[in-house]
């Protein structure tokens, strides 16, 4: 018992002496005296300038702690004079007694006012890659390696961190190669009771400054757990709220929420995110994602399912008015789904499905490169009526051919084309636009070095076939367009009605157009159009005038008779052909030819697309009676060329029929023919008189010759 008392007394004395010694150490130890040595050690290990401009303080019991203020680490050469890292205050501490027994029990670690500048130079080097945390002449120290699969060492498995707190941190990223700069500001982070094998609550928030005076705020909360083997990590109950604000954001700000959970295989370097939910206004997307960094390059794979939503609610979220549509039941529902994969800088979408109301778009796409963009796609649309989505009355406007629609983008809309590489196919079962339905649409699109070509481009339209070859060149100061289009065996009536806005022509037709244009907007294209066009129509009629009845009425009025009203206002033809030369918006036609059992029509003239005027002359010949169109025979006009002048506004010209001139010319022709006949008769009479006189002379001469010969013969016989 006496021995035990002495032993306890000895232990007590030792503890008192130890406590007294620690008290004296804390009282007399000045950590600031070692700032130069600390700075030199950091500089030796990092190769950077390091400075401690603030106070250093040390605590011993019950926590072995260190507090450091106003520390800064210099930047790498070539990245400016501003320090790479700066911190206002750092405080960390560990319990002394557990530390003496081999256990690590840290208190709350606080990091306040961190300022970190990360940068990449134009040559790709970064301002952190030269950091070398090793002495110039490292010592060789034998370290026992843990057995494979042993996981974390015992001290780490038993280590505890009461908490981590980051206050008002700022991280600036500058990429001198791309000119991009991002700033993470006012970031706070807290984590409580951190140890392996335990679910640790973590919260962080802050703001990211984006280009264009935009800011993205975020607020993240989750529970993180790393197992003791350091093989797996999980993050459950993830909730990320992001809000983007700025002058370029609809309604000034937009908010989205991401929820889900992730698990990571640290050994295999694989992360799985499932489930994953993204919510923005009325839009909710669910899916999953896997990130694999175990290979030569990281890969990302996943899928997203876009739940059905009301597009009208999207416009409300954007604080935008819902577009007025021709069909009040348009824009009622939308949904989608896709699978994606990212590897080696390529984004692939092997399966894509988007549904808008009753229209479904399916296919696949790939972004082979992002800078400059290199996009491949193969998309198919079942059917869409675009007129449903246009304002009421828009379907009455002129509907372009597929080629004109492909070339329809101009101005700034073509600016991205200069750096775009595109290779894809688009097919559609049916597209209705401007009241015109195109079926079996197929288009191949290629773009490179500022030139986009759509070829082949095919569709069935107006009961016939359309084929196009369209090129858009955006390399110059203004875009240029080349269209080579053909329409074969089409119904001309809806075509002309659609483009002219009037019912002018019917029949079965074929047309071809090979033209170039430049500029921005319809006026510039029409004014610069240059090329050629050909047309041929069969078994149809020109509507708006009955040329045969107009001729008949004109003759009757010239003869003082009353002309009946025109019953049918159209002129039939069996064939109508012609070609056009187009130069700087002026269309010239010199070979118009139309024929029917009744008429033969030829024409020549020009139309100016700049001021929308026409000046044209038709020459009409009646080759048969008018009975075929309900009129009486007009033999007086048979074979008489009748001029018809068409002049004025292109769509509302004045039509003048000069029948008087035709008849006067006909009478003049008859008089001239009569005079010619009289002259011919007189000449013939003169020729006949000359012949008779010559015959009499020849006869008299012959008789005199015979008489002379008889006299000579009598003299010789004597």
Residues in the chain, total: 718
Report whether pLDDT(444) > 90.
Answer: yes
What's the mean pLDDT in 591-602?
88
- Sign of the torsion angle spanned by Cα atoms 342, 346, 349, 354: positive
pLDDT for res 161: 82
pLDDT for res 77: 87
Task: State the SS3 of 451-476.
Answer: EEEEEEEEEEECCEEEEEEEEEECCC
What's the mean pLDDT in 466-477?
92
pLDDT for res 712: 62
Q: Which of 467-476, 504-513, 543-552, 670-679 has the lowest mean pLDDT?
A: 670-679
What's the mean pLDDT in 5-10?
39
pLDDT tens digit sequence for 104-117: 677 888 899 999 99
Report whether pLDDT(41) > 60.
Answer: yes
CB 609, CB 584: distance < 8 Å: no
Q: Compute the C-alpha angle 543/549/554, nearest 5°.
A: 125
Q: Could you tell me if residue 531 is left (phi over 0), alpha (psi between -120 and 50 degrees) or otherwise beta?
A: left
CA distance 294 to 691: 122
Of 438, 430, 437, 528, give the one whose Cα is nearest residue 476: 528
CA distance 300 to 339: 11
Report whether pLDDT(408) > 60.
Answer: no
The two most distant CA atoms of the chain are separated, in Å, by 222
Q: Which two tokens stand for residue 166?
A: 């980051």
The proportion of the chain whose per-residue pLDDT surpasses 70, expressed as a percent, equals 76
Report whether pLDDT(542) > 50.
Answer: yes
Report whether pLDDT(147) > 80.
Answer: no
pLDDT for res 400: 54
CA distance 308 to 284: 8
pLDDT for res 217: 94
pLDDT for res 631: 46
Q: Name the residue with higher pLDDT: 27 or 330.
A: 330
Report whether pLDDT(693) > 60.
Answer: yes
pLDDT tens digit sequence for 170-228: 999 888 877 788 899 999 999 998 888 899 999 999 999 887 788 999 999 999 999 98
304: DSSP letter: E
Give the pTM.
Answer: 0.72
pLDDT for res 156: 75
pLDDT for res 96: 65
Q: Which residue has the tokens 């019991």?
A: 61
pLDDT tens digit sequence for 347-363: 999 999 999 999 999 99
CB 648, CB 654: distance < 8 Å: yes
pLDDT for res 203: 95
Taking each helix axis from N to C end, the angle separating 659-716 and 547-558, rounded to the nearest 10 degrees, works out to 70
**Which are the contacts of 147, defined by CB distance < 8 A and separation ≥ 6?**
none
Give the N- to C-terminal CA distance of the chain in Å, as an integer.
221
Query: How much is the mean pLDDT over the chain?
Result: 81
Report whether pLDDT(150) > 60.
Answer: no
Report whether pLDDT(491) > 70.
Answer: yes
CB 465, CB 487: distance < 8 Å: yes
- Sign of the torsion angle spanned by Cα atoms 541, 547, 552, 557: positive
pLDDT for res 109: 87
Of 163, 143, 31, 155, give the one whose Cα is nearest residue 99: 155
**Local confidence band at 682 (pLDDT 50, 70, 90 cut-offs):** low
CA distance 642 to 575: 19
Q: Quick one: how far is CA 596 from the chain centroid?
A: 49
């Amino acid at each position: 018992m006496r021995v035990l008392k002495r032993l306890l007394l000895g232990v007590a004395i030792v503890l008192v002496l130890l406590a007294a010694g620690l008290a004296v150490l804390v009282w007399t130890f000045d950590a600031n005296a070692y700032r130069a040595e600390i700075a030199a050690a950091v500089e030796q290990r990092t190769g950077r300038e390091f400075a401690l401009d603030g106070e250093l303080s040390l605590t011993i019991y019950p926590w072995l702690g260190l507090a450091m203020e106003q520390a800064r680490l210099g930047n790498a050469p070539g990245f400016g004079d501003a320090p790479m890292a700066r911190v206002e205050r750092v405080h960390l501490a560990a319990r002394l007694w557990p530390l003496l027994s081999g256990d690590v029990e840290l208190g709350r670690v606080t990091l306040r006012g961190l300022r970190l500048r990360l940068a990449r130079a134009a040559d790709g080097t970064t301002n952190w890659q030269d950091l070398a945390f090793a002495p110039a002449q490292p010592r060789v120290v034998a370290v026992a390696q843990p057995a494979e699969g042993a996981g974390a060492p015992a001290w780490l498995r038993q280590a505890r961190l009461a908490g981590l707190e980051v206050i008002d941190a700022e991280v600036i990223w500058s990429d001198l190669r791309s000119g991009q700069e991002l700033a993470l500001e006012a970031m706070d982070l807290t984590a409580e009771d951190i140890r392996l094998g335990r679910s640790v609550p973590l919260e962080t928030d802050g703001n990211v400054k984006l280009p264009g005076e935009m800011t993205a705020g975020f607020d993240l909360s989750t529970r993180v757990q790393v197992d003791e083997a350091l093989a797996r990590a999980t993050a459950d109950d993830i909730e990320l709220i992001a809000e983007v604000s700025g002058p370029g954001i609809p309604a000034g700000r937009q908010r989205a929420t991401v929820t889900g959970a992730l698990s990571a295989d640290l050994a295999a370097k694989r992360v799985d995110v499932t489930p994953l939910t993204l919510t923005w206004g009325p839009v909710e997307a669910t899916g999953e994602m896997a990130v694999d960094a175990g290979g030569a390059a990281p890969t990302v794979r996943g899928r997203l399912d876009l739940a059905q939503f009301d597009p009208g609610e999207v416009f409300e979220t954007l604080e935008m008015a819902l577009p007025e549509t021709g069909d009040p039941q348009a824009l009622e529902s939308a949904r989608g789904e896709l699978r994606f994969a990212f590897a080696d800088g390529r984004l692939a979408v092997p399966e894509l499905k988007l549904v808008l109301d009753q229209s479904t778009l399916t296919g696949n796409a790939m972004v082979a490169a992002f800078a400059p963009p290199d996009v491949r796609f193969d998309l198919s649309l079942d059917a869409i009526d675009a007129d449903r989505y246009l304002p009421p009355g828009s379907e009455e406007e002129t509907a372009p051919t597929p080629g004109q629609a492909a070339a329809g983008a101009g101005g700034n809309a073509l600016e991205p084309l200069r750096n775009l590489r595109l290779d894809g196919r688009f097919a559609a079962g049916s597209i209705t636009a401007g009241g015109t339905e195109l079926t079996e649409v197929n288009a191949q699109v290629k773009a490179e070095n500022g030139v986009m070509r759509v070829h082949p481009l095919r569709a069935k339209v107006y009961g016939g076939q359309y084929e196009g070859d369209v090129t858009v060149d955006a390399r110059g100061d203004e875009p240029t367009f080349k269209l080579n289009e053909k329409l074969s065996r089409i119904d001309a009536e809806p075509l002309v009605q659609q483009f002219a806005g009037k019912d002018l022509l019917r029949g079965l037709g074929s047309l071809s157009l090979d033209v170039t244009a430049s500029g921005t907007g319809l006026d510039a294209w029409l004014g610069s159009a240059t090329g050629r066009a050909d047309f041929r129509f069969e078994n149809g009629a020109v509507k708006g005038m009955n040329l045969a009845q107009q001729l008949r009425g004109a003759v009757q009025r010239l003869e003082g008779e009353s002309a009946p009203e025109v019953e049918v206002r159209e002129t039939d033809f069996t064939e109508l052909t012609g070609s056009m030369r187009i130069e700087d918006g002026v269309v010239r036609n010199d070979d118009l030819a139309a024929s029917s059992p009744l008429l033969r029509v030829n024409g020549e003239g020009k139309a100016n697309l700049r001021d929308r005027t026409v000046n044209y002359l038709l020459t009409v010949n009646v080759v048969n009676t008018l009975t075929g169109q309900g009129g009486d025979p007009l033999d007086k006009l048979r074979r008489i060329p009748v001029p018809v002048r068409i002049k004025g506004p292109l769509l509302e010209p004045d039509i003048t029929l000069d029948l008087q001139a035709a008849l006067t010319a006909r009478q003049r022709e008859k008089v001239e023919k009569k005079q010619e006949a009289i002259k011919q008769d007189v000449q013939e009479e003169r020729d006949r008189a000359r012949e008779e006189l010559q015959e009499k002379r020849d006869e008299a001469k012959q008789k005199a010759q015979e008489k002379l010969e008889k006299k000579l013969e009598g003299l010789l016989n004597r």
